[in-house]
């Protein structure tokens, strides 16, 4: 008992942080703090649940529904949320073997705890009573919380008998462990491969930035020469620029066969099992397929609408995509001889050559104009132009790594809005890719205080070297804008209930704010605000901007079909009605065949590394990227009409979309901003796709 008391006094999760804006005191948190904080958080959660369940008063919205969402035990902020947010963020951005061991241990415990709440019979009876007999007129936000609370319990098995509930526990606990194992296997496999070059001649074609980054990686590992990895900032330039076909093949095969090898990191059986677990879960809850279960709470609403979108896109884009690929193949034959047979590791290399031939433009030509510090100023400046908000770096706010910057964000009236963290560079223990996350959400506490969010954007941009600052590609500028769009959704949140705030929206709506921001990347008036040569200070020349605009749809149709193919693969797995027994690799090739233009190699596999649909929440939801693209093109067309910096339009977007979170049906929110439902027309127009209408 005494040990616990000492732990309670010293564990930073158990005491007020006493930091600026109550931000996480990373420097005080040790690995041994997580497990006791999780366990105490679970205990307090159980205590809070017992209070609600044993309240002698008749169930009402206030004493049941609102308390389930905002009850923080005796504390104004829930300990379990606090530690879970920090731990999950660190697992992605700053992990280590010990963290992974904690995750393995805590995952089934946390899943069991979540099930204990959603399968609590007395708690559900109270929620059902309020659902069936609301005690008063509810606001739209309260009605949404009531409906999502009730439905959330039903979808988690509250209406099942005891045998069914026990089965559901087994399924969810096993799925939770397998998704964790899937992610850890993928991280280990991706980190295990390196291409070590000691002969400088083998760097032929590579830009200086790629060579410098590889030399830096080698130096970090105390080796001579250059080291390339499967992390995107290393892999992508290598595949685009390297003239060494055999080395491109080596890199391609390494990246596209991860987790298929005969070792402990093989994900093939894990994927098969996850597909079956999710199908069993859906059928246990009365749905025919897992996709039916998921789409009940999506704008798309059913599989027919998803397939209609995917098939409409194939019909609209495939003729153009086929032409694009033929152009690349023709150029490759022109350069290498008519007998040249293009392989997957050649496509990026020759499509880049075609881009140069058509537009005399490539990512490296633009990189000197996209110095990271200036891009940050440009992106913050864009938010200021649109919404009047300002960012101020605050070095008093603790960070979890020296690379991370922390900012205070202030609204146009000068009031404090949020804390914004930015983590830009790859490192050991950090996952690849880019994402936005929250250390703290937004909600109104029981005293009426508007608790403001702490949001973080995490990316993997090429690091600065001794000779050069961090210089981005145009694609990386788009990535920054994308994640920044998510962060605006989080920072502008202004709702009563945390579970409905910020990015807590239906998944085919969540990408609208992020993809909307990407539109600015090629807008001349935006580029003019920050794109200056890092050495000379010269602005990005007009003729280069014109080439950017002209080339914006280069390989767009091919890229669209690639995304559609991933959507088809996702739907193929999650529309299974019977036990899935097929071999993953041949099944994958068949599933996305109608959207594929380049043949796939037999030994490569996407499924085993497709984190989005296996471990990342996009199961039966990958289509939502294209769904959101229809929305973002439609929304941005309003700004194109009224002016891309038009503050009145921006205020409407903030008021009706960004600040509202999931408080109302997303189509209601969107129509309030747009005045009508979205159509695919703006997307087709943006991509210069002409559809042949059948007469």
What amino acid positions are annotated as catalytic residues? 483
Structure tokens at 424: 């830009």
Q: Is 363:474 a contact under the CB 8 Å cutoff?
A: yes
**Strand 405-410 relative to strand 416-423: parallel, antiparallel, unpaired?**
antiparallel
Burial of 136-154, coded b for 16+ CB within 10 Å and e otherwise, reads eebeebbebbbebbbeebb
User: Which residues touch 583 (CB under 8 Å, ≥6 apart)?
Assistant: none
Nearest C-alpha neighbor of 278 from the set 370, 168, 200, 352: 168
What is the DSSP pairing of strand 454-458 with strand 416-423?
A: parallel
Residue entry with tokens 């930015």: 422
* Separation CA 642–CA 204 (nearest Å): 48
**From CA 347, how far away is CA 329, in angstroms rounded?**
8
Helices first, then strands: H and E counts in the chain: 28, 9
Q: Shortest CA distance to 565 belongs to which of 535, 597, 539, 527?
A: 597
* C-alpha to C-alpha distance for 331 and 325, rounded to whole angstroms: 10
Distance, CA of 303 to CA of 104 (rounded, Å):
34
Q: Roughly what angle, to the nearest 10 degrees, separates helices 584-591 and 556-574?
A: 130
Residue 630 to residues 550, 555, 685, Cα–Cα distance (Å): 21, 18, 11
Nearest alpha-carbon partner for 667 in 641, 639, 634 = 634
Tell me the three-class secondary structure of 514-560, residue by residue: HHHHHHHHHCHHHHCCCCECCCCCCECCHHHHHHHHHHHHCCHHHHH
CA 656, CA 650: separation in Å to the nearest integer? 10
Strand-pairing partners, residue 458, are 423, 435
Specify whether the CB–CB gap between 438 and 510 falls below 8 A: no
């Amino acid at each position: 008992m005494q040990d616990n008391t000492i732990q309670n006094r010293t564990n930073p999760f158990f005491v007020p942080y006493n930091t600026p804006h109550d931000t996480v005191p990373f420097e005080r948190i040790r690995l041994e703090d997580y497990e006791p904080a999780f366990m105490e958080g679970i205990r307090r959660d159980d205590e809070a649940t017992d209070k609600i369940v044993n309240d002698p008063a008749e169930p009402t919205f206030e004493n049941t529904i609102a308390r389930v969402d905002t009850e923080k035990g005796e504390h104004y902020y829930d300990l379990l949320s606090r530690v879970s947010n920090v731990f999950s963020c660190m697992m992605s951005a700053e992990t280590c073997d010990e963290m992974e061991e904690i995750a393995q241990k805590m995952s089934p415990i946390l899943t069991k705890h979540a099930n204990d709440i959603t399968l609590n019979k007395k708690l559900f009876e109270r929620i059902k009573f309020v659902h069936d007999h609301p005690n008063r007129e509810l606001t739209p936000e309260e009605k949404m919380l009531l409906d999502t609370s009730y439905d959330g319990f039903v979808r988690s098995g509250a209406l099942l008998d005891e045998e069914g509930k026990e089965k559901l526990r087994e399924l969810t606990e096993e799925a939770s462990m397998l998704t964790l194992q899937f992610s850890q296997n993928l991280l280990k496999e991706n980190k295990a491969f390196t291409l070590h070059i000691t002969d400088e001649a083998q760097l032929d074609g590579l830009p200086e930035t790629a060579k410098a980054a590889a030399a830096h990686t080698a130096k970090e590992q105390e080796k001579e020469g250059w080291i390339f990895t499967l992390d995107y900032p290393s892999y992508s330039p290598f595949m685009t620029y390297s003239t060494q076909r055999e080395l491109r093949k080596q890199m391609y095969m390494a990246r596209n066969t991860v987790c298929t090898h005969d070792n402990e990191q093989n994900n093939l059986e894990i994927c098969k099992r996850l597909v079956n677990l999710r199908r069993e879960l859906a059928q246990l809850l009365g749905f025919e397929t897992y996709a039916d279960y998921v789409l009940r709470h999506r704008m798309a609403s059913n599989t027919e609408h998803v397939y209609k979108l995917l098939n409409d896109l194939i019909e609209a884009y495939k003729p153009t995509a086929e032409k694009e690929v033929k152009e690349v193949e023709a150029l490759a034959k022109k350069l290498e001889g008519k007998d040249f047979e293009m392989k997957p590791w050649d496509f990026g290399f020759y499509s880049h050559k075609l881009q140069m031939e058509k537009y005399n433009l490539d990512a490296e030509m633009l990189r000197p104009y996209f110095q990271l510090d200036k891009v940050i100023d440009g992106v913050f400046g864009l938010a200021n132009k649109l919404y009047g908000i300002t960012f101020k770096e605050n070095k008093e706010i603790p960070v979890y790594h020296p690379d991370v910057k922390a900012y205070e964000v202030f609204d146009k009236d000068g009031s404090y809005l949020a804390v914004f963290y930015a983590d830009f560079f790859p490192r050991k223990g950090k996952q690849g890719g880019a994402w936005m996350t929250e250390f703290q959400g937004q909600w109104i506490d029981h005293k009426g205080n508007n608790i403001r969010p702490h949001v973080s954007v995490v990316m993997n941009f090429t690091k600065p070297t001794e000779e050069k600052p961090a210089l981005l590609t145009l694609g990386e500028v788009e990535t920054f804008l994308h994640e920044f769009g998510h962060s605006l959704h989080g920072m502008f949140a202004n709702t009563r209930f945390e579970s409905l705030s910020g990015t807590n929206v239906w998944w085919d709506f969540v990408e609208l704010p992020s993809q909307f921001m990407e539109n600015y990347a090629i807008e001349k008036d935006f580029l003019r605000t920050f794109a200056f040569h890092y050495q000379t200070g010269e602005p990005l020349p007009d003729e280069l901007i014109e080439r950017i605009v002209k080339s914006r749809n280069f390989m767009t149709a091919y890229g669209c079909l690639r995304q559609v193919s991933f959507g088809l693969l996702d739907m193929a797995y999650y529309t299974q009605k019977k036990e899935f027994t097929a071999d993953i690799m041949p099944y994958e090739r068949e599933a996305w065949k109608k959207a594929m233009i380049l043949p796939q190699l037999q030994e490569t596999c996407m499924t085993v590394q497709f984190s989005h649909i296996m471990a990342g929440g996009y199961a039966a939801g990958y289509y939502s990227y294209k769904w959101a693209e229809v929305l973002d093109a439609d929304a941005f067309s309003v700004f194109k009409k009224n002016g891309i910096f038009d503050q009145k339009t921006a205020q409407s977007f903030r008021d009706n979309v960004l600040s509202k979170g999931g408080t109302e049906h997303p189509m209601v929110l969107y129509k309030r901003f747009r005045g009508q439902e979205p159509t695919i027309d703006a997307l087709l127009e943006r991509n210069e796709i002409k559809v042949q209408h059948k007469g």
